[in-house]
Amino acid sequence: LSSFSFAAQDQSPWFAHYNPSAASKWAAALNRAGTMTPQMTSEELNNVTYGFSSACSGMTGSVPRVGWDGLCMNDAGEGVRGTDLVNAYAEGISIGASWNAELAYERARYMGAEFRRKGVKVALGPVIEPIGRTALNGRNMEGFGADPSLAGKLAAASVRGLQASVIASVKHFVGYEQELDRMPIGGNPVSVSSNINDKDMHELYLWAFQDAVAAGAASIMCSYNRVNQTYACENDAALNGLLKGELNFPGFVVSDWSGQHSGDSAAAGLDVAMPSSSYWDNGQLVAAVNNGTLSKERLLDMATRQLAASYYVFGDITSSPPNGYGLVTDYTAPHPLVDGRDPASKPNRLQQAIEGHVLVKNTNNALPLQKPKILSLFGYDGRAQMVNSPSSNTLSNYGWAFGTQVMNASVDTLLQAMVGGKGDILQSATGGTLFTGLGSGASTPAYISDPFSAISDRAYDDDTYLWWDFKSYEPQVSAISDACLVFVNDVSTEGVDRAGLADPVSDSLVLNVAAKCANTIVVIHNTYIRLVDAFYDHPNVTAIVYAHLPGQDSGRALVKLLWGDKSPSGKLPYTVAKNASDYGQLLHGSGTPVNNSQSDFSQPSLFDYRYFQANNIEPRFPFGFGLTYTTFTYGNITVSSTGFRNASTSPPNPNRRIPGGVKSLFDPLVSVSVTVTNSGSVDAAEVVQIYLQFPGEKTHLLRGFRKIEIPHGSTQEFAIDLSRRDLSRWDVTSQQWLLPNGTTTILVGASSADIRASAILTR
């Protein structure tokens, strides 16, 4: 197993830049693969390019004669999905809310080792797109939030963590921002076309993939949508042009499942078709080579990229345990017990769950709780669902969550909604507490620590009396409760966009409790943006927590936060508006015209906080916002910018390329340093955020961040480097990143709207 050492103290520069060993390691891997694939016959080469049925989400063909095992691929970004003896990690959106790249790295390292022990060679994650352009997108929870820099750094950390054990397949490339019309099915002859101009493509959508490739990503999954009218998985401009050309991606491109729509996808840059292929099977690529429509070099290249990925990550093309070792198709039948879990992952899993919570309202010192005498608990989301068993896995390819695990809807209804890609689903999972997203981003828990059981344990310690009603929507409330906790959720799934940003039934439940309880604390297990204006101003609603999707240690983490054993440290990775209409065109995807869906990504170009800034819309909670139990005082900032002032406008040595593109793009040109003092009375972590306002722009965008734990009464220095790419804009004419002339303002903030210090850069 290839591995590398990771020094926690050395994290900031480490995560800010590319993986320095990637280039030479790739060169060696490609060389070795390049000597193996010519030993395969054309038929064998053809066979390794598409999937065959197995217990894995997908399995490529093997060539035992030369020692090539093929690749077992399995979902997803939150843990090994749909099997037993694995853990459910916090969902992508919780990691986005943690703003913690080191945490993301450790999470991925533990997760990757689980994939490996279960015989999976390719983990189908992390998710970069959807990146949250569309507020109602049903899959936003799988990604890290609505910003390229945040997503890029967390994805890069995840790639490095996963690839300590398995190949990471970073998905979905590119422009995949709505579930509506994502597939050409159900009266819809083609998928939606995401129409993206060159500048936005580079600055908003390609950005985080560039970080992932620079981190060494060995696989990329192309998406279901079309990009500028051509399917992403047969898009020469996107795959050969941007990804393999400009970003110099050395690994293999795998199609999203059934995302291949023609045999021409081979020449356009697709290397592996999943889960099978009607365009490449039965020797069709051999025939294409023979009749001159596909070059033999390209057929070799398709296989070479897979083998190289394997050499790069595993050091070999034969590896143990064998493919699919811990996966079976029927978990109710007797099968070998293969435990993927490592008990050492426990503290990290708990920390993920903790850091994914964002406290957004806290009045009258409602939190942390002080040994309440009577605590009342309400809301369907407060206790676990009734079933979690392998036999509920009726939709094997979509995971347990689609069965009975979290949804109060029949499997048929859900499947119907998914296949049509347009149906409405329930907005809340009223069957029990929500801790994961649904669809391929669903995680598979070993157990569940739900809020009720964790709070019951705490009640035992503190001699608190609990009063609970998880069933009623108009519950009776004890007038002498110290506090009332209300648990609601906001569910979403792959395959369908959400119906709305708030659920009136849950809102009225909160209001019904607040009408009778002067200290009402709302906990929302939300998949993404969830509006709270229905109850935000209610004087009895004293605290609101966005709990996101914490994985199996949900309740345990919540108790640590509510009781103040830990201070909240999560910050919103998206903007919460006051009204759904504030998102304008960005609220939902486009489905017009009906038979040829088009989505114009320049209407508007900017999304999330930059859209709000550009249009002077005051959000309810800004991007990057989160409260805690202490106060932080920011000191002066120091900026060292000699490198920037003296730098050439265009990147030097454009021919010196690494995986990720031109190497000099990753050179640090500016270092920003700021001191922050924890001036309160409890320990807590702060996330310092660096935004840039480029010459002539009225909006600013995130380009760096760092999270550090600061003991109360002490001061920490946050040092954050900005690379040449961070400081550049994409120039459409010269097709490169250029440092802008004029004045760039560096804004140091505790959120996108809470700027504590600034400095000017001029050139």
Query: Two tokens at 469?
Result: 């009603």
Nearer to ligand NOJ, 223 or 575 (CB): 223
Distances from the Cα of 363 to the Cα of 302, 520, 559, 578, 685, angstroms: 59, 11, 19, 19, 20
Question: Distance from first CA to last CA of the chain, Å, rounded?
Answer: 47
Nearer to ligand NOJ, 405 or 433 (CB): 405
| Residues in 240-259 at the binding interface with ligand NOJ, rule: CB under 6 A | 256-257
> Which regions of 476-552 does DSSP assign to beta strands (E)?
483-490, 520-526, 541-546
Binding pattern for the stretch 88-127 against ligand NOJ, x by CB under 6 A and - elsewhere: ------------------------------------x---
User: CB of 298 within 8 A of CB of 240?
Assistant: no
Nearer to ligand NOJ, 142 or 721 (CB): 142
> Which regions of 619-667 does DSSP assign to beta strands (E)?
632-640, 657-658, 661-662
Query: Min. distance of Cβ 433 from ligand NOJ in angstroms?
Result: 24
Distances from the Cα of 423 to the Cα of 232, 412, 415, angstroms: 24, 12, 10
User: CB of 234 within 8 A of CB of 266?
Assistant: no
Query: Min. distance of Cβ 57 from ligand NOJ in angstroms?
Result: 4
Q: Which of 200, 211, 256, 553 is catalytic?
A: 256
Pairwise CA distance, residues 488 & 379, whole Å: 6
Query: Min. distance of Cβ 453 from ligand NOJ in angstroms?
Result: 31
Count of residues of this chain found to bind ligand NOJ when the rule CB under 6 A is applied: 9
Q: Which helix (H) or strand (E) holds 349?
A: helix 346-355
Triad 75, 79, 80: Cα angle to 5°: 55
- Is 440 among the residues that bind ligand NOJ (CB under 6 A)? yes
Query: Min. distance of Cβ 272 from ligand NOJ in angstroms?
Result: 13
Binding pattern for the stretch 146-185 against ligand NOJ, x by CB under 6 A and - elsewhere: -------------------------x--------------
Nearer to ligand NOJ, 257 or 400 (CB): 257
Other residues' Cβ atoms within 10 Å of the Cβ of residue 464: 17
Query: Min. distance of Cβ 493 from ligand NOJ in angstroms?
Result: 11
User: CB of 192 within 8 A of CB of 228?
Assistant: no
Pairwise CA distance, residues 672 & 638, whole Å: 6
Query: Min. distance of Cβ 615 from ligand NOJ in angstroms?
Result: 32
Clarify whether 256 is annotated catalytic.
yes
Nearer to ligand NOJ, 142 or 301 (CB): 142
Nearer to ligand NOJ, 436 or 440 (CB): 440
| Residues in 687-706 at the binding interface with ligand NOJ, rule: CB under 6 A | none
| Residues in 560-599 at the binding interface with ligand NOJ, rule: CB under 6 A | none
Indicate left, alpha or beta for 580 from its phi (over 0: left) and psi (-120 to 50: alpha): alpha
Query: Min. distance of Cβ 176 from ligand NOJ in angstroms?
Result: 8
How far, in whole angstroms, is CA 343 from its chain's centroid? 24
Pairwise CA distance, residues 113 & 118, whole Å: 9
| DSSP β-ladder status, 701-710 and 684-693 | antiparallel
Nearer to ligand NOJ, 143 or 660 (CB): 143
Query: Min. distance of Cβ 725 from ligand NOJ in angstroms?
Result: 27
Nearer to ligand NOJ, 139 or 305 (CB): 139
Other residues' Cβ atoms within 10 Å of the Cβ of residue 239: 26
Q: What is the DSSP letter of 605?
A: S
Active site residues: 256
Residue numbers of the site for ligand NOJ (CB under 6 A)? 57, 75-76, 124, 171, 256-257, 397, 440
